[in-house]
A and B are shown apart, each in its own frame.
Chain A
Amino acid sequence: MDKAILKVEGVNTYIGQHHILQGVSFEAAADHVTVLLGRNGAGKSTTLKTIMGLLPTSVGKIYYQGKEIQNRKPYEIARMGIGFVPEHMGIFSSLTVEENMQVAMLKEDSETGKRLEMILEMFEALKKFWRMKAGNLSGGQKQMLAIARAIVNDISLLLIDEPTKGLAPIIVNALIDVIHQIKQHTVIILVEQNFYMASSVGDAFYILDDGIVVHSGKMAELVEDKALQGKYLGISKTEG
Chain B
Amino acid sequence: MAGEILKRKGREIVIFSALLLGLLPLAGMDIKTYLTLTIAGFAMGMMLFLVASGLSLIFGLMDVINFAHGVCFAWGAYVAFSVFRYFKKLVEAESLFQNSLVFIIAIVAAILVVGIVGIIVERVLIRRVYGSHLFQILITFGGMVVLTELIRILWGPNDEVMPVPVTFRGNWDIFDIIVLKYPIIAIVLGLFVFGVIQIVLKKTKVGKIVRAGVEDPVMVQAMGHNIYLLFTAVFAVGAGLAAVGGMAMAVFNLQVYPGMGDAYLIFAFIVVIIGGLGSITGSLVGALIVGLSYNYVAFLLPPIAVGVNILIMVVILLIRPTGLFPAGK
Measured CB to CB, the residues of A under 8 A from B are 52, 54, 73-75, 78-79, 84, 86, 90, 92-95, 99-100, 102-104, 106, 135, 149, 153
Pick from A74, A86, A103, A149: contact of B208, CB under 8 Å: A103
Whether A90 contacts B222 by the Cβ 8 Å rule is yes
Whether B212 contacts A92 by the Cβ 8 Å rule is yes
**B46 is an interface residue with CB less than 8 A from chain A:** no
Which of B27-35, B91-99, B121-129, B224-232 forms contacts with chain A?
B224-232
Whether B224 contacts A153 by the Cβ 8 Å rule is yes
B328 to A, closest residue via Cβ: A94
Whether B211 contacts A92 by the Cβ 8 Å rule is yes
**B209 is an interface residue with CB less than 8 A from chain A:** yes
Which 10 A-B pairs rank lowest in CB-CB distance, beginning with the nearest? A94-B328, A90-B219, A78-B224, A74-B221, A92-B212, A79-B224, A103-B212, A84-B222, A93-B328, A92-B215
A198–B205 alpha-carbon span in the complex (Å): 36
Chain B residues near A54: list those with CB within 8 A: 218, 221-222
Expressed in whole angstroms, the minimum distance between the Cβ of A36 and any Cβ of chain B is 18
Chain B residues near A149: list those with CB within 8 A: 223
Whether A92 contacts B216 by the Cβ 8 Å rule is yes
A40–B219 alpha-carbon span in the complex (Å): 22
**B220 is an interface residue with CB less than 8 A from chain A:** yes
Total contacts A-B at CB 8 Å: 64
Whether B208 contacts A99 by the Cβ 8 Å rule is yes
Whether B208 contacts A75 by the Cβ 8 Å rule is no
A75–B223 alpha-carbon span in the complex (Å): 6
A92 to B, closest residue via Cβ: B212
Chain A residues near B328: list those with CB within 8 A: 92-94, 135
- Extra contacts, 16 of them, besides A54-B221, A90-B219, A106-B224 (Cβ < 8 A), are A52-B222, A73-B226, A75-B221, A75-B222, A75-B227, A79-B224, A90-B216, A90-B218, A90-B222, A92-B215, A92-B216, A92-B328, A94-B327, A102-B208, A103-B220, A103-B225
Expressed in whole angstroms, the minimum distance between the Cβ of A183 and any Cβ of chain B is 21
Whether B223 contacts A104 by the Cβ 8 Å rule is yes
Whether A95 contacts B222 by the Cβ 8 Å rule is no
Within 8 A of A (CB), among B279-303: none
A225–B211 alpha-carbon span in the complex (Å): 48
Chain A residues near B215: list those with CB within 8 A: 92-95
Whether A75 contacts B218 by the Cβ 8 Å rule is no
A135–B216 alpha-carbon span in the complex (Å): 13
A-B contact pairs, 17 of them (CB 8 A): A54-B222, A73-B221, A75-B221, A75-B223, A75-B226, A78-B222, A92-B212, A92-B215, A92-B219, A94-B211, A94-B327, A95-B215, A99-B212, A102-B205, A103-B212, A103-B220, A106-B224
Chain A residues near B211: list those with CB within 8 A: 92, 94-95, 99
Chain B residues near A106: list those with CB within 8 A: 223-224
Whether A95 contacts B208 by the Cβ 8 Å rule is yes
B210 to A, closest residue via Cβ: A103
Chain B residues near A86: list those with CB within 8 A: 219, 222
Whether A74 contacts B222 by the Cβ 8 Å rule is yes
Chain B residues near A84: list those with CB within 8 A: 222-223
A230–B301 alpha-carbon span in the complex (Å): 74
| B309-329 vs A, Cβ < 8 Å mask (1 yes, 0 no) | 000000000000000000110
Whether B209 contacts A103 by the Cβ 8 Å rule is yes
Expressed in whole angstroms, the minimum distance between the Cβ of B209 and any Cβ of chain A is 6
Whether A75 contacts B224 by the Cβ 8 Å rule is yes
A116–B225 alpha-carbon span in the complex (Å): 19
